Structure 1
Amino acid sequence: MKPSIDFVTVIVARPTESYTGEIKRIKEEVWQITDHIEEYASADECENFVRSARYKYIFIIVTVDLINDLFSLNIHQFRQVQTIFLFDPHKNSNTLHINDLRKLSYKMHEVYISSKDLIRRVEECVHECANKSDILLSSLAGCSSDTMTTNVVNNIADFAELWFPLYIDFLFELPMVDSKEEKLRFIEQCRRHFAHNPGALQLIAEFEEHYGPHGALYYYTCDGFFYRIVNRALRRQAIECIRDFRFFLLDIRNQLQLAHEKFLHNDTKVGMSKTFFRGQLMSDAELEELQNKHREGTLITTNSYLSTSECIETARIFAGKPTNGIVSILFEITAEIKDPQIKQRKPFARIGHLSKFGEVEREVLFSIGSFFKIDQIDEESSSCWIVKMTFVDEDDQNQIVTSDFRILRTCSLEMKVIKIGDLLAKHSRQGISKARHFYDLIKTSNSSEALKAACDAGRGWLALNEENVSLAIEQQQKALGLYEKLKSECDSENLTHLYITSYNCIGTCFRQMKRYRRALEYYCKADKLALKVPIDKYAMYEGYRNITSINIALTHKLLGNIDQTWELYKKILAYEMNTSTHFHGPTYLTIAQAGLQEAQIANDVHEYERHFQHWKAFLDLSLT
């Protein structure tokens, strides 16, 4: 399908007589790719258009007779120029000279002799550009703050969406071993990736020589290979690639935190709300999905940095013009200015003084993983939709909508690793393989022994999810062996949490094998550690697998010890009520459905009847 998108333009250089036939055919083919074609007879005309089209993505097809003029005017340095394709059907180009040009810019592609090959590559590039959103928004539908009950029920399906912001949070919390080493490793990977692109290799060399922590935002706003690598990896949620430029994300956060402190001016005070604007094009399908998920209080999070402007006119330019299947969107984002003395986890700030583009666009950049609450979606006119949002400070305890994420992130690094793997496994069809890759990445990197042990524990739970109980027990026994070696060097409470999760996993393996006495042995080992894991919505989401008291109660019921089971559940309720004032819907629901799963997976009628009688007896006790 032809991507009729206003911000994608292909420029075709008007040729000399010797190229007329070939270029005419190329133009006809390009018309099949996009409606937006410009044609110029000189490099000067081309430059004038490029300068005037700051907010477009431009691809240039040029012949040998004009290539030198283009480079002499430095057209390749404009950020809006994405790729330069050199068409040379008569093989008139000098290979050495072309290689010199490619060293000047990574945007210079190889020489195309065949118009068929050229068109195929142009189509690939244009479609890639047309299909990618400027910013990927993950909608966390169901985070409504209407009532706690609605929050509990609806949020059960949404925790998996939080794996990526939790992963970014994890990267920020990891101790920095050696930023120079991380930078060099990233540079070497870039060199391997761009081994056949002299222009990119030149930029990589410059980056290696000149980059420093105080220049992160400058490089991020530059039109270079680095900006594209970072955004592509973030949009694709490429775990390994993002890990490799962690030093860069940390440098940007530090710069944003410092810049955020300067937000207070004569016209800005603590507690004041400011409005920022962002314009972008969006497909009808994306808008429809956003509308379907939206209700008052819906939460979304960004997978990369969100660029906005204090100037609505600038945002409207970026919003472009709607075309077939594409709509213009204007985001209006309201954010409260907090006390600059309080360090923000997800800062936003004016970056004009740090950007290559200066103050022209009055740019305000929001951090990766920022949370926003959708307040309203309206059709302003036939040509533009307005999406009104509020920036949500995830540390604000009054914000109920981010309480789920606070639950997830409030734990040790080791438990965070296990949670990320668990959420990844539930996130998509290939989730378990992605979770394994994540654990392998942590184990093979320069991580602490405690984190590596946590990966073994996480892999044990993955194996149990796949009903491979023997592998699950093997992984957890391996993890337990590592815990023993870590007793002298690891925080005791963090280590206790790891012991509890491994013991619970092994106990659940034996429970699934219907070796209930053996299961109780491991559950009791976890219980003796006397560290209570809170029964919150995340515990409910993962099936209470790590709540030792519930596991013990459930196993006793399977053994027919109904009175003992009910007494245990009453103690759980009393403990939860005494230690927290929050609504205990998850705990009540756990008791209500206790044992149903075992009845459903019974092997025969007699076993089903036995489970049913236990369930009935349990209900009789709970109702008296």
Structure 2
Amino acid sequence: MSRIQELNQLESVYIFCKITSLSTKNGRKKYEKIKGVFTEIISICDVLKQDIRQCDANLTSVTILPPSSNLKSNEIDLAFMYSQLLKKILIDIEKEDTEKQKLIEFCREQYSQNNSELEFINEFDRDYLKQSPLWWYSREGFVYKMLNRALRNQDIEIISKMASFVRDVHKQIAQLHEQNTDRQVALEFVQKSQKDSNKTSVLFQMEVDPTNASNPFVSMENISFYPTEKEILFSMNTVFRIGEIQQIGDKLWQVNLSLTNNDDQQLKCVTESIREDLANRRTRWHKLAILMGKMRNFDKADELCQPLFEKLSNDDWTQLTGFIKIQKGDYSNGLSHLQKCLDIWLNKFPDCNQYLPSVYHNIDQTYHDQAQTNNSIGEIYQYMKDFHRARIHYEKALKIQQRSLSPKV
């Protein structure tokens, strides 16, 4: 047991035995990782469920930004910016009749070997409208675990599959938006962690003005699957400012937080340029693909958008494919798709098309990137005194630039 106590990758130990001996009780006092000694399987299952749920809550994704408002966007955690924009895109996407069924089918595949979760999935499919979205979310099962894990890991594929449910939850939170707090309950959760000498506990005390909160939140009391819970649920990507930090006990600190709103200038400076770029895109699916590209997750963008091509028109499909290929560095195929998209629109709307400027811009930008890449390679070879190869790449850059100036482009 002493060796197990030293394993950092092991969080807790639960002992199940028919007879609780004195030595077992003494061992629990000696080793902090022993969470309990149980003589019945039901009791150990109840404790495990509670501890797993608490562990999930402790893993809530948090991003901390420096206080300066003069930082450039590339100096700030990109995942934070993109998660803000992702939420807006997901909430705005039109709801489809098949979304829920696709989610159900996906979940059944994921939990095909778990009979208890399959029963829950069947109940979710059958009775979804009989309960509220928050009720389903708060219940122990695949919805809570899958969504929290996806948000924590920024798993765009899972989040997009659960977009319909995320919208329903956000909508209900907005409808029931109110404030409720219970400091004593929060302290009880914190004090459980104090038993571990390797951990320092933190109590976050949030100051929230309901009249000045742009991101909705709601008390889960009488709404949750567990009606006695006194928890507050905030919609995803809620932003707080850190205020006073003080120690209030042994290995126990209190951090005061205040909820920000959409008028926060520091938050605006982080996302404004990207938001403007996305605002000019033709469809919300284009926005999602572009967001994936800006996150440098090109393979995921390709994989995520593939099922969407069926619902897009030919020109939409061609433009989106071209964008993804260009972002992945496949300039030749990307330009081919954009040129094809341009031809389609010129044939459909020979006199006027509001989307043509964006296509021309993308084509021009792709040529510019190609030329710049070849020019940079040429400079490297020139520095290495390999003038023959340097000339080859300079000539490629020149031809690309000349082609971009052609009246046919």
TM class by shorter-chain length? 0.7 to 0.9
Change in 2 beyond 3 A, CA 1:401/1:382: same
Q: Deviations over 1:55-100 (max 9, x none)?
A: xxx33xxxxxxxxxxxxxxxxxxx52759xxxxxxxxxxxxxxxxx
Residue of 336, 341, 344 corresponding to 2:209 = 336
Q: What displacement does 1:502 show?
A: 3.0
Q: What displacement does 1:439 show?
A: 2.6
Please say if residues 117 and 142 of structure 2, whose CA atoms lie closer than 8 Å, have aligned partners that are also in contact.
Answer: yes
Counterparts in 2 of 1:187-226, with a 5 A limit? Answer: 187-212=104-129, 215-226=132-143
Are 1:482 and 2:406 counterparts?
no
For 1:232 and 1:193, the matched residues in 2 are separated by 14
Change in 2 beyond 3 A, CA 1:194/1:43: closer
Q: What displacement does 1:318 show?
A: 1.8
Q: Secondary structure at the match of 2:205?
A: strand
Q: What displacement does 1:460 show?
A: 0.3
Instruction: Report the equivalent of 1:401.
Output: 267
Q: Deviations over 1:203-249 (max 9, x none)?
A: 11111110129621001111122211221222222221221111110
Residue of 343, 360, 363 corresponding to 2:231 = 363
Q: Deviations over 1:499-529 (max 9, x none)?
A: 3123211222134334xxxxxxxxxxxxxxx
For 2:173 and 2:272, the matched residues in 1 are separated by 22
For 1:390 and 1:599, the matched residues in 2 are separated by 53
For 1:496 and 1:143, the matched residues in 2 are separated by 38
Instruction: Report the equivalent of 1:326.
Output: 199
Q: Secondary structure at the match of 2:197?
A: coil
Instruction: Report the equivalent of 1:80.
Output: 50
Are 1:438 and 2:363 counterparts?
no
- Stretches of structure 1 that go unaligned for 5 or more consecutive residues are 51-57, 60-78, 84-128, 264-273, 275-308, 426-433, 464-470, 515-596, 609-624
For 2:289 and 2:110, the matched residues in 1 are separated by 31
Change in 2 beyond 3 A, CA 1:419/1:324: farther
Structural RMSD (CA): 4.0
Instruction: Report the equivalent of 2:401.
Output: none
Please say if residues 233 and 241 of structure 1, whose CA atoms lie closer than 8 Å, have aligned partners that are also in contact.
Answer: yes
Moved more, 193-202 or 217-226: 193-202
Q: What displacement does 1:444 show?
A: 2.4
Residue of 369, 373, 378 corresponding to 2:246 = 378
Counterparts in 2 of 1:539-558, with a 5 A limit? Answer: none
Are 1:137 and 2:62 counterparts?
yes
Please say if residues 5 and 130 of structure 1, whose CA atoms lie closer than 8 Å, have aligned partners that are also in contact.
Answer: no
Instruction: Report the equivalent of 1:151.
Output: 71
Counterparts in 2 of 1:82-121, with a 5 A limit? Answer: none
Q: Secondary structure at the match of 2:202?
A: strand
For 1:400 and 1:208, the matched residues in 2 are separated by 42
Q: Secondary structure at the match of 1:208?
A: helix
Q: What displacement does 1:254 show?
A: 0.8
Q: What displacement does 1:135 show?
A: 0.4
Q: What displacement does 1:171 show?
A: 1.9
Are 1:311 and 2:182 counterparts?
yes
Please say if residues 242 and 258 of structure 2, whose CA atoms lie closer than 8 Å, have aligned partners that are also in contact.
Answer: yes
Change in 2 beyond 3 A, CA 1:176/1:452: farther
- Stretches of structure 2 that go unaligned for 5 or more consecutive residues are 1-5, 391-409
Instruction: Report the equivalent of 2:150.
Output: 233
Change in 2 beyond 3 A, CA 1:417/1:191: closer
Change in 2 beyond 3 A, CA 1:349/1:239: same
Change in 2 beyond 3 A, CA 1:192/1:335: same
Counterparts in 2 of 1:221-620, with a 5 A limit? Answer: 221-260=138-177, 263=178, 310-319=181-190, 320-322=192-194, 323-338=196-211, 344=214, 346-358=215-227, 360-393=228-261, 395-396=262-263, 398-410=264-276, 411=279, 412=281, 413=284, 416-417=287-288, 419-425=290-296, 434-445=297-308, 447-449=311-313, 450=316, 453-463=319-329, 471-485=330-344, 493=354, 496-514=357-375, 601=380, 603-604=382-383
For 1:252 and 1:495, the matched residues in 2 are separated by 38
Q: Secondary structure at the match of 2:185?
A: helix
For 1:35 and 1:197, the matched residues in 2 are separated by 28
Are 1:164 and 2:83 counterparts?
yes
TM-score by length of 2: 0.75
For 1:386 and 1:510, the matched residues in 2 are separated by 55
Are 1:177 and 2:96 counterparts?
yes
Change in 2 beyond 3 A, CA 1:136/1:168: same
Please say if residues 11 and 39 of structure 1, whose CA atoms lie closer than 8 Å, have aligned partners that are also in contact.
Answer: yes
State, as a whole percentage, how many aligned pairs show the same letter: 17
Change in 2 beyond 3 A, CA 1:598/1:38: closer
Please say if residues 259 and 351 of structure 1, whose CA atoms lie closer than 8 Å, have aligned partners that are also in contact.
Answer: no
Q: What displacement does 1:190 show?
A: 1.7
Please say if residues 239 and 438 of structure 1, whose CA atoms lie closer than 8 Å, have aligned partners that are also in contact.
Answer: no
Please say if residues 298 and 327 of structure 2, whose CA atoms lie closer than 8 Å, have aligned partners that are also in contact.
Answer: no
Q: What displacement does 1:455 show?
A: 4.5
Please say if residues 292 and 300 of structure 2, whose CA atoms lie closer than 8 Å, have aligned partners that are also in contact.
Answer: no
- The total of aligned residue pairs comes to 367
Instruction: Report the equivalent of 1:186.
Output: 103
For 1:314 and 1:5, the matched residues in 2 are separated by 27
For 2:100 and 2:10, the matched residues in 1 are separated by 37
Letter in 2 for 1:151: L
Q: What displacement does 1:137 show?
A: 0.9
Q: Secondary structure at the match of 1:505?
A: helix
Please say if residues 214 and 251 of structure 1, whose CA atoms lie closer than 8 Å, have aligned partners that are also in contact.
Answer: no
Q: What displacement does 1:390 show?
A: 2.2
Q: What displacement does 1:136 show?
A: 1.2
TM-score by length of 1: 0.51
Moved more, 380-389 or 447-456: 447-456
Please say if residues 479 and 502 of structure 1, whose CA atoms lie closer than 8 Å, have aligned partners that are also in contact.
Answer: yes
Q: Deviations over 1:442-495 (max 9, x none)?
A: 1323553436623421330330xxxxxxx3132132133224435759x95555
Q: Deviations over 1:231-273 (max 9, x none)?
A: 122222222122111111011011011112xx3xxxxxxxxxx
For 2:245 and 2:379, the matched residues in 1 are separated by 44
Change in 2 beyond 3 A, CA 1:386/1:448: farther
Q: What displacement does 1:366 show?
A: 0.8
Letter in 1 for 2:71: N
For 1:357 and 1:424, the matched residues in 2 are separated by 38
Please say if residues 442 and 452 of structure 1, whose CA atoms lie closer than 8 Å, have aligned partners that are also in contact.
Answer: no
For 1:326 and 1:452, the matched residues in 2 are separated by 53
Q: Deviations over 1:538-586 (max 9, x none)?
A: xxxxxxxxxxxxxxxxxxxxxxxxxxxxxxxxxxxxxxxxxxxxxxxxx
Please say if residues 111 and 117 of structure 2, whose CA atoms lie closer than 8 Å, have aligned partners that are also in contact.
Answer: yes
Q: What displacement does 1:329 show?
A: 1.0
For 2:295 and 2:152, the matched residues in 1 are separated by 16
Q: What displacement does 1:361 show?
A: 3.6
For 1:599 and 1:499, the matched residues in 2 are separated by 27
